[in-house]
């Protein structure tokens, strides 16, 4: 090719041609080789790239998601978990609020008048302290709180004032939508959101950790019913306080628990006097005759007595310097059912002596009356028990004097006696539906059945007639105790209580109502005893509660006939 080219132009000499040919060929050869190497390198690189592209687009296609997904938006994170009732009703939650803060350096640098600024702020935030605010504005510090929890509307108006140096800090505030209805159980938190009482304190760390809301065993509807009826009765009988408990006897769940007076946990200024005191769990009281249920249960379970046994209740018992008498004296031989129905102290005391002090203590311990309740609250009262358990103690304790327990303990114990004889500790946390809650057997199921019959008898024929909610087979026991004071008992200061179980055919709930120092009125003929003031509360609560929990009333009841030990001659009521 080069030859032909050369010939066409200038015919070079042979020598030249050879020489030229040699040099050019060498240069061409080198150029060609370099090109080859470079080309090869490029081809190699492009091949790698091509392979990689194929690898990424074709080969790996299966491993790569077809649609890129971002992490779904996280749920709202608050500093403290919610608390809910058993039906998911919100009882406590943390809401975002803003706090008004001041950078005093910026404020002073602007040259505004502190007093005028403070006065302007006070028109929007009325509970601001004028002198303190002026001091904060003048403090020359970079950070200070002016007002916690400012509403959005106040924020807007404060911004309109145009005062320099004001800032907002985002914070959280604990809010209790149901206010005073569930005050004692929930407890409270301080301004920094630390639990300082109630469940807020007991479950503080659990509520702080991000997770599920706390589900309580409470039912806010039943809480409202119990609260309303107790409030009404406390007002009617001018009681200084009241307490009530509704418990599921088959699980130990506390469905409702009220203590009066109470407070609004949203506004701690509403805590006046002993309003923060939880009478249902922290208060311990000598319960009076409701304890006869325990005495009768232990005597029946122990085999000390049968339903056909009885005791002579004609004369008061004299022991040491005491005299045990009956409030409703029958002055005759009483059968065991009659002792309970007429609430005879004499008969019960004699029964307890036959059971014996040691057995009595063992049973009371099993009923959970000698140790503090294990409920999940920091405010739990320890029962008051005599130092030395003498005969007189055995006697008085048999009818509820000499041992002081909390209302919750009483409800738990009565629940265990009536539910077939299984002790299930009281709890405020929801148990899953349908899960069997195991417990410790404390009395035989036969004794438990007899106790249910006896409790029904008390309501049908005895001191608890006012508790009879028609159709719902209420069983229970009244208890009127004199409050100790000044070294002896005060006959005018009473603790009147009624503990009821229903339906007695197959118990589901125990309802307890206690009034602290009720005063009788015209309607009760001046009586402030349990049968008059506390029993009607339980009747009304059960009548309103039963339709809500799906218990239908029964039309007819099997009444014991003459010859049955449970037969009681009904006297005309006076």
Partner 1 sequence: MRQTTIILVLLAVALTFTLFKVKYGVQHLEEELSSLNRAIHAHQESIHVLQAEWSHLNEPERLRKLAAKHLDLTPLGSSQIGSISDFPVSVGNETPVDQEADASGRQPGTHLTSGKAH
Residues annotated as catalytic are 289
d(CA 355, CA 375): 30
Task: Work out whether 78 is an interface residue with partner 1 (CB under 8 A).
Answer: yes
Interaction between residue 552 and partner 1 (CB under 8 A): yes
CB of 359 to partner 1, least distance (A): 41
Q: Which residues, in sequence order, are bridge partners of residue 92? A: 83
Buried b (16+ CB within 10 A) or exposed e, 46-80: eeeeeeeeeeeeeeeeeeeeeeeeeeeeeeeeeeb
Any contact of residue 76 with partner 1 (CB under 8 A)? yes
Q: With binding defined as CB under 8 A, does residue 221 bind partner 1?
A: yes
**Residue in this structure with the two tokens 């004028």, named with its chain if needed:** 130
Minimum distance between the CB of residue 190 and partner 1, rounded to whole angstroms? 20
Does residue 273 touch partner 1 according to CB under 8 A? no
Q: Which stretch binds partner 1 (CB under 8 A): 176-184, 254-262, 450-458, 476-484?
A: 176-184
186/188 Cα distance (integer angstroms): 6
Q: Residue from 81, 93, 278, 450 that binds partner 1 (CB under 8 A)?
A: 93
Q: Which two structure tokens, joined as six digits, stand for 191?
A: 């301004």
Q: Which two tokens stand for residue 519?
A: 């005063």
Residue from 79, 164, 179, 520 touching partner 1 (CB under 8 A): that is 179
Candidates 220, 375, 467, 511; binder of partner 1 (CB under 8 A) is: 220
DSSP for 172-221? EEEE-TTGGGGHHHH-EE-TTS-EEEHHHHHTHHHHHSSSPPEEBS--HH
Q: Is 43 in the site for partner 1 (CB under 8 A)?
A: no
Please choose, out of 30-38, 140-148, 251-259, 538-546, the segment that lies near partner 1 by the rule CB under 8 A. 538-546
Which of 285, 342, 367, 472 forms a contact with partner 1 (CB under 8 A)?
A: 472
What x/- string results for residues 378 through 407 when contact with partner 1 is judged by CB under 8 A? Answer: ------------------------------
Nearer to partner 1, 483 or 544 (CB): 544
Angle at 535 between CA 530 and CA 537, to 5 degrees: 120
Contacts for 25 with CB less than 8 Å, ≥ 6 apart: none
Neighbours of 145 (CB within 10 A): 12
Q: Where are the beta strands (DSSP E) in 348-406?
A: 404-405
Rg (CA), the chain: 41
CB 501 within 8 A of CB 476: yes
If binding is defined by CB under 8 A, does position 175 make contact with partner 1? yes
Q: Which stretch binds partner 1 (CB under 8 A): 12-20, 27-35, 218-226, 378-386?
A: 218-226
Q: With contacts defined by CB under 8 A, name the span among 68-76, 383-391, 489-497, 566-574 that binds partner 1.
A: 68-76
Question: Residue from 181, 255, 340, 414 that binds partner 1 (CB under 8 A)?
Answer: 181
For 88, phi and psi rounded to 5 degrees?
85, 15
Using CB under 8 A, which of 471, 484, 520, 560 touches partner 1? 471
Contact of 537 with 260, CB cutoff 8 Å: no
Q: Interface with partner 1 includes 555 (CB under 8 A)?
A: yes
Q: Which residues contact 87 (CB under 8 A, 6 or more apart)?
A: 219, 220
Q: Which secondary structure element, helix H or strand E, spans residue 474, and what is its range?
A: none
Q: How far apart, in whole angstroms, are the C-alpha atoms of residue 198 and residue 254?
A: 15
Closest approach of partner 1 to the CB of residue 178, in Å: 5
What residues make contact with partner 1 under the rule CB under 8 A? 70, 73, 75-76, 78, 89-91, 93, 95-96, 175, 177-179, 181, 220-221, 223-225, 227-228, 469-472, 543-544, 546-547, 552-553, 555
């Amino acid at each position: 090719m080069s030859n032909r080219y050369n010939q066409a132009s200038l015919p070079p000499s042979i020598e030249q041609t050879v020489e030229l040919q040699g040099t050019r060929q060498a240069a061409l050869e080198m150029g060609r080789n370099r090109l080859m190497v470079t080309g090869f390198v490029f081809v190699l690189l492009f091949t790698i790239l091509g392979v990689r592209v194929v690898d990424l687009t074709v080969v790996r296609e299966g491993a790569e998601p077809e649609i890129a997904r971002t992490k779904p938006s996280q749920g709202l994170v608050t500093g403290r978990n919610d608390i809910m009732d058993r039906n998911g009703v919100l009882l406590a939650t943390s809401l975002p609020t803003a706090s008004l803060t001041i950078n005093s350096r910026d404020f002073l640098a602007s040259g505004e008048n502190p007093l005028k600024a403070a006065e302007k702020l006070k028109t929007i935030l009325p509970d601001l302290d004028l002198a303190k605010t002026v001091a904060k504005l003048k403090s020359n510090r970079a950070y200070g709180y002016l007002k916690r929890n400012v509403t959005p509307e106040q924020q807007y108006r404060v911004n309109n004032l145009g005062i320099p140096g004001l800032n907002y800090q985002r914070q959280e505030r604990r809010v209790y939508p149901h206010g005073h209805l569930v005050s004692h159980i929930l407890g409270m938190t301080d301004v920094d959101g630390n639990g300082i009482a109630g469940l807020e304190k007991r479950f503080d760390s659990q509520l702080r950790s991000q997770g599920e809301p706390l589900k309580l065993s409470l039912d806010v509807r039943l809480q409202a019913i119990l609260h309303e009826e107790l409030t009404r009765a406390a007002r009617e009988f001018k009681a200084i306080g009241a307490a009530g408990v509704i418990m599921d006897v088959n699980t130990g769940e506390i469905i409702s628990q009220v203590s009066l007076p109470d407070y609004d946990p949203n506004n701690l200024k509403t805590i006046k006097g002993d309003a923060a005191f939880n009478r249902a769990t922290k208060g311990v009281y000598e319960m009076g005759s409701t304890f006869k249920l325990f005495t009768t249960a232990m005597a029946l379970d122990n085999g000390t007595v049968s339903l056909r046994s009885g005791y002579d209740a004609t004369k008061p018992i004299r022991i040491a310097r005491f005299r045990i008498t009956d409030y409703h004296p029958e002055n005759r031989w009483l059968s065991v059912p009659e002792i309970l129905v007429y609430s005879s102290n004499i008969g019960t005391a004699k029964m307890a002596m036959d059971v014996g002090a040691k057995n009595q203590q063992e049973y009371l311990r099993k009923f959970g009356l000698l140790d503090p309740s294990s409920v999940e609250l920091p405010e739990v009262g320890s029962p008051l028990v005599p130092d030395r358990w003498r005969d007189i103690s055995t006697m008085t304790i048999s009818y509820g004097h000499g041992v002081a327990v909390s209302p919750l303990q009483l409800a738990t114990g009565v629940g265990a006696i009536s539910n077939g004889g299984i002790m299930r500790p009281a709890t405020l946390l929801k148990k899953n539906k349908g899960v069997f809650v195991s417990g410790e057997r404390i009395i035989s199921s036969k004794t438990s059945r007899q106790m249910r019959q006896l409790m029904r008898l008390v309501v049908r024929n005895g001191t608890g007639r006012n508790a009879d909610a028609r159709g719902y087979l209420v069983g229970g026991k009244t208890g009127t105790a004199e409050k100790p004071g000044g070294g002896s008992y005060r006959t005018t200061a009473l603790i009147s209580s009624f503990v009821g179980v229903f339906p007695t055919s197959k118990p589901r709930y125990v309802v307890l109502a206690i009034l602290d120092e009720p005063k009788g009125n015209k309607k009760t003929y001046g009586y402030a005893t349990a049968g008059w003031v506390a029993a009607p509360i339980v009747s009304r609560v059960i009548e309103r509660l039963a339709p809500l929990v799906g218990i239908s009333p029964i039309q007819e009841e099997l009444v014991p006939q003459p010859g049955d030990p449970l037969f009681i001659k009904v006297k005309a009521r006076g």
